Structure 1
Amino acid sequence: MGQLFFKDDHWKFMSGDSSAWANPSYDDRHWKKANSSLRDNKALWKAKKGWFRLKFNLSKKSLKTDYSLIIKQFGYSELYLDGKLVATTNTSDPQDSASQLRLMQIPFTVQDTNTHVLALRYSFRSSPLYYASTDEDAFKLWLEPSHQSMLNQLVNTAWNAGVGGMLAGLFGILSLLHFLFFRANSNQKVHLILSFATLCFTVMFGLSMVDGFTGTLTQKSLLDVGQISSIHLAFGSLLAAVYTYLKRRHSWLFYFIITSLVVSFGYQCFIGPFPNGQFFIPFFLVLIDYIRVSWLGKRQGDSHNKLPWNSLRFSFFALLLLILSGIIMGIVQGLTGLGDNAFILAFVLLIFVFSVMLSIPIGLSLSLVQDYTHTYKSMQLNLEEVQKLSAKTLAQEQEKQQILATQNETLEHQVNERTAELNQSLETLKATQAQLIQKEKMASLGELTAGVAHEIQNPLNFVNNFSEVSVDLLDELQEEREKSPEQQDPELEQEILADLRQNLQKITHHGQRASSIVRSMLAHSRTSSGQMEPTNLNALADEYLRLAYHGQRATHPTFNCQLITDFSTDIPTLNLAAQDIGRVLLNLFGNAFYALHQKQQFIAEAYEPTIWVSTTLKDLKTVEIRIRDNGLGIPQAIIQKVFQPFFTTKPTGEGTGLGLSLSYDIVTKGHQGTLDVTSTEGEGTEFVITLPVK
């Protein structure tokens, strides 16, 4: 004979405490039937203590075996058999934090078939819960043969730990494999998702190994949170994995199922357990959508997309075994009458139930591993084929290398000859470019020289005039000194000396003016060093405007022009390469005067050539110089070309075409500014220079 269990639905319960309830003759017909679940027995859950009573009798066949009574309970109790106390544990102490798990084996002394009464005085210690659906069996009582009772407990513990450890290890290995596959190819996100899903299963089964050893309700609730959250995350990740693998867009059904998993976990965690087995509804929806998406992938016809559907074959096989094992269990139970003692068959049935539940992640993982293996073998075959082709073409490549080496020598010789020719052409081009630039400088220098000659004439005239007057004054002073002391006029001498001093100061002033003009001309003729120095922009613009104007008049004496300046007094001292900016201004002024002179020759009616020059400070960040004339203007067809090197509209011999190009480079590259032009043909042209304030 095997184990004999006292059925849960035969127990009666009454909350409260009375020693009379242990009496076998006590009338308990008004007591309510209740199982041993703490959560389902609301009266016990509220009162934390009460009495259970059970009437039973043994068959004659059972009396032939010497039994021991096994009590496995959560809490504290006193067990009475026919009113006699046969087992007891410590009384529940609300302040005691020790484990409430108890497992006892006591001798069972019933030796007849009469009706007997078991009365259990029970209490348990409540503790904080972190999971609203936490439940625990208050107690389990059953009979086992005395000679194998302890062995059965060890076997049961080993079976439970073995199954949990086996499943945790299996899913742990799958999680590690998928993570390694993802590390090998990070583009396959499905392996990362499956690694997380199988890790959740690993955590769930790992926690199940210690489920039977939680000694307090707090520990039990924390364990339940870990297990329930793991299985919800695992199933949600499995559904996400099949969507990712088949590259399907997440539909409203996917989000609905994920939401149902979240709601399911939240409801059980904060409200309580689902009634009537509704706990499995979200997982059933995951299974349905998994099958649907897998079927859609199978219909695409690609062997790659058939993998999720093929993984379901393991599920169908496990379900078939589950049905067959149930049939076999029923037949064995009917033939042998084992009843509740058919432990092995029940365990096998439990294994198949787990197989059906876990066949989807295992099947999908194995299918992906198989696909990875096939891909690896295919790559290996391709590699071997490539190696054969490489060996076959190696000889051809060597022959080609010899031919290429000969051709390379020929080409290298030709390249050297062409390179020498290009270097010679480049040197010639550089020399020509330098000559053109020098010609442009000399052209501007010629314009500057004419202006300088006119400008320097005025101070020289003053120097000559004051020198002649000073000589006359010296003669007069000499005559006065030669007179006798009585005839000398000291006041006249002082007056002559004062006039001489004033004349000398004016001679010095105009000499310095002439010297300044000469220095400007020399600076313009020399190569620019590009060195920045503080510069008065208004003075620079005014000086070069006058020089350019006098240069134009020296070339064309009949030319007259109105000069209108508007120099802002807010312009600060700027760090500029004054020599370079002067060259830019001289070029722009020279072009303006040329355009005005050309228009003056072509237009018969009254026409007054005019140049407007203005400076403005913009937002304290930039200075703007505007040079506008009312000359011929530039046609729109060529205005985009005016800054190109060697482009000119002047007749041959009158311009190099480098003036505006060099000016543009000086402003934009040398000073990080801008040089823009706007023009209306027949009305005039305006150049705008913008320089940053530094």
Structure 2
Amino acid sequence: MMRPFTVLCLLLLATCSFSQTIRMSSGKSGISVSTIQRDSTDTLVNKPFRLAGGNDINGAHWRFKEGDSATWAGPDYIDRHWVKTITPKETLRGNKALWNSGKGWYRLLIKAKKEAAEEPMNLLIKQFGRSELYLDGRLLAKVVPFRFDSGGSQRITQQVALPITDTNQHVLAIRYAFRKEPTLFAELGEPPMNLSVLTVSGGLTGYYLSESFGVAIAFLCAGIFSTLSLLHLLFFRANRLQQINRTLFWAMLAFAIAFLADFLSDVTPTLTLDSLVELAGKLGFRAGFALLLWGVYQYLNIRAGWFFYSIVSLVTIDLLYRTFVGPPPDYIDGVAFLLSFIDYIRLSWIGRKRKVADARLPWKSLKLAILCIGGVFLVAVIGGIAIGAKVLNVNFDILLVPIFMLLFIALLSIPVGLSLSLVQDYTRTYRSLESNLREVEQLSARTVAQEQEKQQILARQNETLEQLVTERTAALDQSLTELRTTQDQLIQREKLASLGELTAGVAHEIQNPLNFVNNFSEVSVELLTELEEEQQRPADERDAELEKEILGDIKQNIGKISHHGQRAASIVKGMLQHSRASTGQREPTDLNALTDEYLRLAYHGIRAKEKTFEVNLVTHPDPGLPAVAIIPQDMGRVLMNLFINAFHAVQERTQQSAANAGTYQPTVTVTTERSGDKVKIRVHDNGTGVSDEVRNKIFQPFFTTKPTGKGTGLGLSLSYDIITKGHGGTLDLQSEPGEFTEFIVTLPVA
């Protein structure tokens, strides 16, 4: 495994070295970098820089001195003691003397070529700060950005005419200054100015085309990586389990920010913004490489080890060093990226050895990048040899186009390769889902056919069931008819039983006044006979006092006869009212009177059946009880049922006590009272009580604890419905088996 790694690393190092050589030695057409020779005193003497159309004079051997003096612009000034080889394109941070002082002078000896002297030339200045240009001590132009002195932008691009029409030696002096501002990034890559010598006829057009090409490439890269970032974000939202899409989303976004920052660094107006943009660019590139490498680990399902975390640590240290200290030494610059590339080669080789086709994609992307870098090497070497041997009569700049395109493809091959691999995953998943969908559709068709068959079977079964239901419904209707008939008979029996008890009670009640009427009638007849006999005697023998006394007795008897007759009439009237059908309309009623009346009726009714029945009746009427709107006939039925049940309970316990030779005093207590906006009627007996099992069923229709033929089980059920549904009240039961039973009727006052 080490042989491929060794070859790839050597190839990478050779390519980097060659690229560095190209950057150091290549230039645009007409550039003639001045050579340095030693004079007899072993001091460095600069030869004049020879100007031609299209010269980039930033690479010429300039001299620099910090500070400011008007005499430094003169052609006779001796500048041998100035700092050499510091050009105006050297970064502000790189030129420590200029950074500390904030101003300085640049000087350069120039001499126009013969062909350049025949055509007017301009000096294109792309500047950060302010400057004054002098040619042979004479002021050519002042290049000052608008609002420079008021804290505005320090950038300006301006053309200045070079009035050189001969081939003599001239002195170009630049007086430069910039406004110092707070910076957030120590490795500030902003140069004071970028100078280009252009011909009036067409040099400016070529310059702007070159600038536009660079801007277009930066925006193209930013657009490509932004699109890839959005693509991976949509992939991640579609499937959040695939974490690599989230990693690649952040990686592509970081690269997009880095390329955008690379463009913005050339247009930021102040040092503060420029340092912030450069920091964002450096951070974006490093974060993008780290996340991209981490995405390869995720893609191949390889656990990151110490080597990966060492690379991340080196990248972090490199960024912190550039942020707080400055540019790192040249011998360690790019080590972190080289190690990242080596780790990517290692991971790609591991993926190549796997049998899974998708795992080979990182290796394929790597091969494409290596082929592109190899192409750059071949184009540069072969093209340079051909141009040097005059085989190709073209400028070396022509070779930069294929070189740049190959490098561009190499740069995009790795991230785009990973993205395309994930797209293939989604394509394969989509095809698998499409195949599964077809299978599901086939299964659905079979299921529908089976379902139709089931529906037919169910239809036949439903027909059979409907016939059975029809037959059973007829049987149930007949049973229901018989049940209703039986229920009507039971209700009729309950009514007859209640009517019998009521009739017996009324007969017993009427018997008393009738006995009085008969007795007083007989006595009155005897008194009248005696009075007739007394009146038939002679006048002298008649006793007037006796006649008067007899007439008084007769009058008194007639009054008693009338009283007891009215009493019997009132009893008959009450019986008629009780037997009359309920009108359903409520009437204000005195509950004390109604309770007392039906208590006596119930008592005489049971006395008519059981001559030996004895009970102690106790009443506690509330004298302040208001009249309550009720249906008197319905409430009378309820009270009659409660009283009869109480009498039966105490009668049963009396029989049990007699059998056990115990002393028991049967008592029924009736109490009326008011409780807030309600009135209560309590019917309490000290009879046998009600068990818990019976208590849960006592209000159910047809449930009775009486012997067969003694009750229908509808009395309490009807009473419950009359109280709760007819009058909006409640009927509650409290009982202790063997001790007592108490029914509580609660009615609203209003």
TM category, shorter: 0.5 to 0.7
Q: CA deviation at 1:516?
A: 8.3
Asked if 1:661 corresponds to 2:717, the answer is yes
Per the alignment, residue 434 of structure 2 pairs with 376
Residue type at the aligned position of 2:578: M
Match of 2:194 among 128, 141, 152: 141
Per the alignment, residue 634 of structure 1 pairs with 690
Q: Cα–Cα, structure 1 residues 413 and 360, in superposed 2: closer, same or farther, change >3 Å?
A: same
RMSD between aligned residues:
7.1
Residue type at the aligned position of 2:713: G
Match of 1:162 among 209, 220, 237: 220
Residue type at the aligned position of 2:738: G
Deviations 1:408-465 (Å, cap 9, x if unpaired)? 6555445434333333333333343344345445545555566667788999999999
Match of 1:601 among 655, 664, 669: 655
Q: Cα–Cα, structure 1 residues 572 and 234, in superposed 2: closer, same or farther, change >3 Å?
A: farther
After superposition, residues 539-558 of structure 1 pair within 5 angstroms as 539-540=590-591, 543-544=594-595, 546-548=597-599, 550-556=601-607, 558=613
Residue type at the aligned position of 2:646: A
Q: Cα–Cα, structure 1 residues 39 and 375, in superposed 2: closer, same or farther, change >3 Å?
A: farther
- Counterpart secondary structure, 2:655: helix
Per the alignment, residue 616 of structure 2 pairs with 561
Asked if 1:649 corresponds to 2:705, the answer is yes
Q: Cα–Cα, structure 1 residues 316 and 198, in superposed 2: closer, same or farther, change >3 Å?
A: same
Per the alignment, residue 20 of structure 2 pairs with none
- Counterpart secondary structure, 1:593: helix
Q: State how far apart, in whole Å, the 1-side matches of 2:240 and 2:634 are.
A: 63
Deviations 1:294-340 (Å, cap 9, x if unpaired)? xxxxxxxxxxxxxxx9998766765676677667767877887889x
Match of 1:682 among 738, 742, 747: 738
Match of 1:418 among 472, 488, 491: 472
> Conserved in 1, the CA contact under 8 Å of 2:618 and 2:669?
yes
Q: CA deviation at 1:547?
A: 0.9
Q: Cα–Cα, structure 1 residues 176 and 684, in superposed 2: closer, same or farther, change >3 Å?
A: same
Q: Cα–Cα, structure 1 residues 417 and 152, in superposed 2: closer, same or farther, change >3 Å?
A: same
Q: CA deviation at 1:84?
A: 6.7
Q: Cα–Cα, structure 1 residues 172 and 606, in superposed 2: closer, same or farther, change >3 Å?
A: same
Q: CA deviation at 1:93?
A: 2.1
- Counterpart secondary structure, 1:679: strand
Residue type at the aligned position of 2:176: R
Q: Cα–Cα, structure 1 residues 166 and 591, in superposed 2: closer, same or farther, change >3 Å?
A: same
Q: Cα–Cα, structure 1 residues 346 and 672, in superposed 2: closer, same or farther, change >3 Å?
A: farther
Q: How does the TM-score come out when normalised to structure 1?
A: 0.57
Q: Cα–Cα, structure 1 residues 417 and 90, in superposed 2: closer, same or farther, change >3 Å?
A: same
Asked if 1:150 corresponds to 2:202, the answer is no
Q: CA deviation at 1:589?
A: 3.8
Q: State how far apart, in whole Å, the 1-side matches of 2:453 and 2:129 are.
A: 86
Q: State how far apart, in whole Å, the 2-side matches of 1:617 and 1:223 are.
A: 90
> Conserved in 2, the CA contact under 8 Å of 1:194 and 1:365?
no
Q: State how far apart, in whole Å, the 1-side matches of 2:324 and 2:566 are.
A: 110
After superposition, residues 477-488 of structure 1 pair within 5 angstroms as none
- Counterpart secondary structure, 2:208: helix
Q: Cα–Cα, structure 1 residues 680 and 93, in superposed 2: closer, same or farther, change >3 Å?
A: same
Residue type at the aligned position of 2:615: N
Asked if 1:397 corresponds to 2:453, the answer is yes
Q: State how far apart, in whole Å, the 2-side matches of 1:320 and 1:72 are.
A: 40
Per the alignment, residue 532 of structure 2 pairs with none
Q: State how far apart, in whole Å, the 1-side matches of 2:287 and 2:627 are.
A: 72
Per the alignment, residue 40 of structure 2 pairs with none
Q: State how far apart, in whole Å, the 2-side matches of 1:354 and 1:463 are.
A: 132
Bigger mean CA deviation after superposition, 354-363 or 553-562: 354-363
Deviations 1:333-374 (Å, cap 9, x if unpaired)? 7887889x9676567656766676687777657645642442
> Conserved in 1, the CA contact under 8 Å of 2:680 and 2:747?
yes
Q: CA deviation at 1:577?
A: 6.8
Deviations 1:566-599 (Å, cap 9, x if unpaired)? 7596x88877777666654543443233212211
Q: CA deviation at 1:650?
A: 0.5
Q: State how far apart, in whole Å, the 1-side matches of 2:677 and 2:407 are.
A: 87
> Conserved in 1, the CA contact under 8 Å of 2:129 and 2:176?
no
Q: State how far apart, in whole Å, the 1-side matches of 2:623 and 2:285 are.
A: 81
After superposition, residues 278-677 of structure 1 pair within 5 angstroms as 367-368=425-426, 370-387=428-445, 389=446, 397=453, 401=456, 412-444=466-498, 447=501, 517=574, 521-522=578-579, 525-526=581-582, 529=584, 539-540=590-591, 543-544=594-595, 546-548=597-599, 550-556=601-607, 558-565=613-620, 583-604=637-658, 605-612=662-669, 627-665=683-721, 675-677=731-733
Q: State how far apart, in whole Å, the 2-side matches of 1:463 and 1:233 are.
A: 125
Unaligned runs of 5+ in 2: 1-25, 29-55, 296-315, 328-336, 345-355, 385-395, 520-558
Q: State how far apart, in whole Å, the 2-side matches of 1:427 and 1:458 are.
A: 47
Residue type at the aligned position of 1:121: Y
Deviations 1:4-39 (Å, cap 9, x if unpaired)? 6959xx99896x977677778676669999998899
Deviations 1:476-516 (Å, cap 9, x if unpaired)? xxxxxxxxxxxxxxxxxxxxxxxxxx99xx99998997698
Q: Cα–Cα, structure 1 residues 175 and 607, in superposed 2: closer, same or farther, change >3 Å?
A: same
> Conserved in 1, the CA contact under 8 Å of 2:185 and 2:276?
no
Q: Cα–Cα, structure 1 residues 372 and 165, in superposed 2: closer, same or farther, change >3 Å?
A: same
Q: CA deviation at 1:649?
A: 0.8
Q: CA deviation at 1:632?
A: 0.6
Deviations 1:354-406 (Å, cap 9, x if unpaired)? 6766877776576456424422331123313543x369769x839x84x7766
Q: Cα–Cα, structure 1 residues 662 and 464, in superposed 2: closer, same or farther, change >3 Å?
A: same
Per the alignment, residue 13 of structure 2 pairs with none
Q: State how far apart, in whole Å, the 2-side matches of 1:633 and 1:599 are.
A: 9
> Conserved in 1, the CA contact under 8 Å of 2:615 and 2:666?
yes
> Conserved in 1, the CA contact under 8 Å of 2:257 and 2:280?
no
Q: CA deviation at 1:168?
A: 3.7
> Conserved in 1, the CA contact under 8 Å of 2:671 and 2:682?
yes
Identity %: 32
> Conserved in 2, the CA contact under 8 Å of 1:74 and 1:101?
yes
Q: How does the TM-score come out when normalised to structure 2?
A: 0.54
> Conserved in 2, the CA contact under 8 Å of 1:175 and 1:196?
no
Q: CA deviation at 1:540?
A: 3.4
Per the alignment, residue 38 of structure 2 pairs with none
- Counterpart secondary structure, 1:590: helix
Q: Cα–Cα, structure 1 residues 207 and 521, in superposed 2: closer, same or farther, change >3 Å?
A: farther
Structure showing greater radius of gyration is 2
- Counterpart secondary structure, 1:638: helix
Q: Cα–Cα, structure 1 residues 551 and 357, in superposed 2: closer, same or farther, change >3 Å?
A: same
Residue type at the aligned position of 1:425: S
Q: CA deviation at 1:682?
A: 0.9
Match of 2:102 among 42, 50, 59: 50
Per the alignment, residue 121 of structure 1 pairs with 176
> Conserved in 2, the CA contact under 8 Å of 1:171 and 1:199?
yes
Bigger mean CA deviation after superposition, 448-457 or 594-603: 448-457
- Counterpart secondary structure, 2:696: helix
